[in-house]
Amino acid sequence: MAGSNLLIHLDTIDQNDLIYAERDMNFAQKVGLCFLLYGDDHSDATYILQKLLVMARSDLSQSDLLIKFAKSRPETWRRHLVEALCIIGARKVLRRLGFCWQELRMHYLPHIAGITLHVHPLLKSLYRMCEELSLAQSGRLFLDVGEKVASQQAGDPLRFYDPAYLEIFLLDWLTKRSIKLGDINAAGSNVDLLVEHLKFNDLHAQAKLITDTIISNAPEPDAAGTAAMAIKQEIESDNQQSKAPAIKRIGALKLTRENAGIALIINQQEFHRNVSKDIKKLLSPDPLHRRDGTDVDKERLIEVFSSMGYNVEAYDNVDHLGIIERIRSACERSLLRDSLVVFILSHGFEEAVYGANSIALKISDIENMLCSYGTLSNKPKLLIIQACQEKPAQKKEQNEPFNLDVTTRSPGQHINMLRAMSTVNGYAALRHTQKGSWFIGSLCDAIDSHSSSEHIADILTIVTNEVSKKRGSNDESMVPNVKSTFRQHVYFPPRQ
């Protein structure tokens, strides 16, 4: 649905669809969506603010929030609405409207946080700020900034006190013009009250997000851009000494969102045995069954690693030579990137993993291939494999894997290489046909919960602990296997 097809589909959304779309959203999503859609229109924002307050106090589920927006912008409402739904992550609503999330994400959610197509960029950044703050941090912001707004403005107070919905307070301050968005390029914006509070409370990442949005959207240097740049430089100066020594003390390497790297996913669901005669001897002894549930793993990995700034490249049902080709290509394109992560989701046997054509590759050969490239010298290289590692049955010989002629010249090339296997050698890797595999699911959960505080090796220790405690319906169990030559603590990039 990329390109023109996406635009064509946008035009098929009918106003009657909005009634059902709104029913699919909870109150928090409605608050976020109204903030993004109405925040730059003071007259409508005042009305919507009152509607939200009534809904918050009466648990009113039926409303006309989206219908009103569509009628107020008859020419552009579809594009604004779909982008805003993407920003709040309303996937259920977007699916109901017939969209594919991955295509929308690529179109509307660039890695540069402060860039938008239709929604005001500062509204997007302010919404992200609200999502990133804890309840206690939100409470301090609404009390501190709210007190300053009240001292500067006449009129009735908001009389709403739940900091869980911080966007409602921001909408109120926008209608009172205590904070200003400026035009679509953020020229004429005034967010000094917010930035001042964020800096004072050591919320430098959020302050930087707001000032970076102003800078990146300014068509050319102006007063607003100059002021924002000054704030940004001051924030960076304030934190240079506080952050760098902490990282230096533990010898850590912190990957960046801007240059995180490629996350390559080889997702094998279906297998065949149609190969040329000269390699038939390498085929698996028995036909390989379809791997139901692997697409759940793939989609979860795409979501998690995209949120950390990785360029995710996912391929389905790749033969053994295709695996080699795609890994080599990712290695060659990693010169200016911080790391490379390779996932292979497939069948396998001890120390080997299958291509979709039922021909196996040695895992050690894949590891050597990653370590042989100068483009990845001393950079973190992660090889993560979800595949059984059972020994061949005694009555049936397992064919040899394809011989990949790849070597490294010195042990030093293997520095900062991590291999994480779903299971120790000799055992099966367990996978639910609807929920996905135990290992990949636990890995994604651990990154979700701990990537902001734990380094990669410790995250995988958490995964090993969680997976080893699981039990199947017939008391099945599994223990992942992690080997690392990391010489320092390595932290994933901050999540979006």
pLDDT in tens, 38-59: 888 777 778 888 888 888 777 6
Does residue 401 surpass a pLDDT of 70?
Answer: yes
List strands edge to edge, sheet with 261-267.
Answer: 311-316, 261-267, 339-345, 381-386, 417-421, 481-484
Q: Is 86 a catalytic residue?
A: no
The pTM score is: 0.53
- Residues 113, 105: Cα–Cα separation, whole Å: 12
Does residue 61 surpass a pLDDT of 90?
Answer: no
The closest of 330, 306, 316, 329 to 103, measured between CA atoms, is: 306
For residue 462, what pLDDT is reported? 94
Which among 204, 388, 444, 455 is annotated as catalytic? 388
Q: Is 388 a catalytic residue?
A: yes
Q: Do 464 and 482 meet the contact criterion of CB atoms below 8 Å apart?
A: yes
**CB neighbour class for 299 (10 Å; exposed up to 12, middle 13-18, buried from 19):** middle
For residue 46, what pLDDT is reported? 82
Contacts 24+ apart (CB under 8 A), 391-397: 391/349, 391/350, 391/425, 391/426, 392/285, 392/349, 392/350, 396/285, 396/286, 397/285
Confidence of residue 316 (pLDDT cuts 50, 70, 90): very high
**162 secondary structure, DSSP code:** -
Of the two residues 195 and 246, the one the predictor is more confident about is: 195
The architecture in CATH of the region 253-491 reads 3-Layer(aba) Sandwich (3.40)
DSSP reduced 3-state for 380:
coil
Which among 347, 371, 444, 455 is annotated as catalytic? 347
Q: DSSP letters of 93-146?
A: HHHHTT--HHHHHHHH--SSTT--SSS-HHHHHHHHHHHHS-HHHHHHHHHHHH
pLDDT in tens, 225-272: 455 555 555 555 545 444 443 343 346 888 999 889 999 999 999 999
- Residues 359, 352: Cα–Cα separation, whole Å: 10
For residue 396, what pLDDT is reported? 61
Of 46-50, 431-435, 461-465, give the lowest mean pLDDT range: 46-50
Residues in the chain, total: 496
**CB neighbour class for 134 (10 Å; exposed up to 12, middle 13-18, buried from 19):** exposed
Helices 65-72 and 77-88 cross at an angle (nearest 10°) of 140
Does residue 177 surpass a pLDDT of 80?
Answer: yes
Confidence of residue 445 (pLDDT cuts 50, 70, 90): very high
Taking every pair of Cα atoms in the chain, the longest distance, rounded to a whole number of angstroms, is 87
Calculate ∠ Cα 172-173-174, nearest 5°.
90
- Residue corresponding to tokens 């990282």: 247
Element (H, E) at 353: strand 352-354
List strands edge to edge, sheet with 360-362.
Answer: 348-349, 352-354, 360-362
- Which range among 95-99, 217-221, 348-352 has the greatest average pLDDT? 348-352
Q: Cα torsion for 48, 54, 55, 60, to the nearest 10°?
A: -120
Of 129-138, 290-299, 382-391, give the lowest mean pLDDT range: 129-138
pLDDT in tens, 475-486: 889 999 999 999
Domain ranges of the chain: 4-247, 253-491
Does residue 21 surpass a pLDDT of 50?
Answer: yes
